[in-house]
A = this chain, B = another copy of it.
């Protein structure tokens, strides 16, 4: 139940220098002046840790002592209810923060699982708090990341609460493409790191529905998908579907009411 058993495992580097990391423009130190950046070198990141594919970085109930910045690979986060049901709530890629679910209660409330062999930068929360006094910009950036997560989750709630399955899948693919592009990868040729089941769980759908919609999109010429190799060929078409502008047979409004006044 405690993370201490993990904390010394797979540590591959100690006291890492952010200024030497190619990810720093999109990671926690984004926007720092170079003086501040070198100032946090060897101080913000306590260590790097390896997490093998399928392994948990932390799990619900673990004591919260540090945040993690994804360096290589990617992760999924999962909440689970008492009765065993669970749901994927997010997909984290390199440069993104993991573990903020533990800030409130000082225990992690969810699981974080590596979708491929991955490495993370370990950031001890207490140490970061002290660094803030010396580098206020670091704190502002941290708040920006927390705020971004909050907004992202609200959009996910909109998706889960009032979108059709096709719109959800289109939204997922567009978000994925955009985030890949931001990291210098192709926005059209993507290797999916999640199974159909995991994608379905993230979108509140079953794996069969995801599979069917992939096939449908393929026959409509929007994309090509073969197992986990995905190629988006009509991004505008996906965006049209995402925005609910697809030609539905007598387009029903689908809970378009509410939420306004």
Contacts and interface: CB of A to CB of B under 8 A. Distances in A.
B160 A101 contact: no
A197 interface: yes
A153 B153 contact: yes
Interface stretch (A8-16, A35-43, A180-188, A199-207): A199-207
A243 B83 CA distance: 6
Interface stretch (A20-28, A44-52, A141-149, A213-221): A141-149
B151 A104 contact: yes
B244 A148 contact: no
A81 B164 CA distance: 13
A5 interface: no
A36 to B, nearest CB: 16
A109 B157 CA distance: 14
A150 interface: yes
Given A85-B244, A88-B258, A103-B146, 16 more contacts: A78-B259, A79-B154, A79-B259, A80-B158, A83-B245, A85-B158, A86-B258, A87-B161, A88-B259, A89-B154, A104-B144, A129-B136, A160-B160, A161-B201, A201-B259, A206-B255
